[in-house]
Amino acid sequence: MGGVIDQPAEPDDRTVRDAWLGLVALAIATLVAITTEMAPIGLLPDISDSLGLDESTTGLLVTVYAGVVAVLAVPLTLGTRRLPRRPLLLGTLLAYAVSNVAVCFAPTFAVLAAARAVGGVSHALFFSLSIAYTARLVGPLHVGRAMTVVTLGGTGGFMIGVPLVTSLGNAAGWRWSFAVLAVACVLTAALVLATLPPVGPAPAPRGDDVLRTRRTRLGVVVGTNALTFLGHYTLYTYIAVVLLGAGLSSGAVGPVLFVLSGMGLIGLWLAGPRLDRSPRTATLAVLGSVAVGMVVVGLGYPTLGVVLAGAAVWCGAFGGPVPTVFQTAAIRAHGATADVAGALVNTTSNAGIAGGAALGSWVLGAHGEGALPWVGVVIVAGAVASVVASRSAFPARA
């Protein structure tokens, strides 16, 4: 495994190929983290039936989890900034396992929500660590590609993890899904321990005047990230409800989520290489595609074929490209250490997830599932406007 990786003097030419083993380990860890976070989405109908709740109430499990992350990501990152990075990352994976075991045996909704909150605490640190780790493993000109590799794990969570736990839950009961997830978290911790090299502490940015400008850019990046996640999760949290309302059978929800998540791989393949060459153009193309896909879902509902076509475009643009876009932009803003920049991305992403789940719950209860895509697209349009208005936060060149 070698010694601790410290930030080398410029030029730093470490490529993705040089760091592939650590990046793959981070990608797999990201897969189980995303699967743990999003598992309730495909299982909402089953959990609701089991506990005697309506789906809008059960959807708040996503809000609880994401709300904990949004509140704790920055304080926990600052409070643990002097601790060794790799053991801390291992601790987050084991905490995910504890959370999933507790969910598996939760007798009531209150206990279930508390168990999910434990996972939220872990999540508050995991992505801050993962984003910063990724940036430290390669040179600055290769951050976009490195983020793309690690984000493949997130896309895998949506493409493989969530559909698998959804299908398992439909076949054997939703509690078994979380039991399997707990085992996966423990195995992933062992993999990380065996393969991921340790890294040294991230250097703090210097220069008051320059730093103020950089912090402004970082603020724009993470604010736009929050809007994007808010719009997406207003609709995506209830995607199973929308698909069922459009005539899809319950047994087909898992396979459809698999296909939709697979579209994220296509989106990542198209957008990933451009993040190091034309980040502004790539960002506008990604967010524009999310908005267009949501419009198609809204116009087509409840015609299943049109809804699926729109969802393929929307989820393809979001699932892989969006996290990569904003994680890379936050690191390149140089407004904070990589750990803190990662924490801010994590905070705003989960603020958007929590807010989207809560907003979607209200929209679903008040206006029905057909209104969800229209609320989502209005919010995403605000994110597009933010990118258009800020050339410094989203530059044409890396």
pLDDT tens-digit readout, 272-302: 778 888 899 999 999 999 999 999 999 999 9
Helix 60-79 to helix 20-51 angle (10° resolution) is: 140
For residue range 363-372, list pLDDT tens digits in order: 999 999 999 9
Q: DSSP string of 277-318? A: T-HHHHHHHHHHHHHHHHHHHHHHTT-HHHHHHHHHHHHHHH
Residue with tokens 């895998």: 156
**Domains and their CATH numbers in the chain:** 20-389 (1.20.1250.20)
**Residue 5, beta-bridge partner list:** 199
Q: Does residue 116 contact residue 381 with C-beta atoms inside 8 Å?
A: no
pTM of the model: 0.82
Q: Is 15 left (phi over 0), alpha (psi -120 to 50) or beta?
A: beta
- pLDDT (0 to 100) of residue 12: 67
Could you tell me the two tokens for 306?
């049109």
Could you tell me the two tokens for 315?
């989820």
Question: Is residue 199 helix, strand or coil?
Answer: strand
For residue range 139-191, list pLDDT tens digits in order: 887 888 888 889 889 878 877 888 888 889 988 889 999 999 999 999 999 99
Question: Is residue 5 helix, strand or coil?
Answer: strand
Find, among 140, 169, 118, 113, the residue nearest to 15 by Cα: 140
Average pLDDT over the chain, rounded to an integer: 88
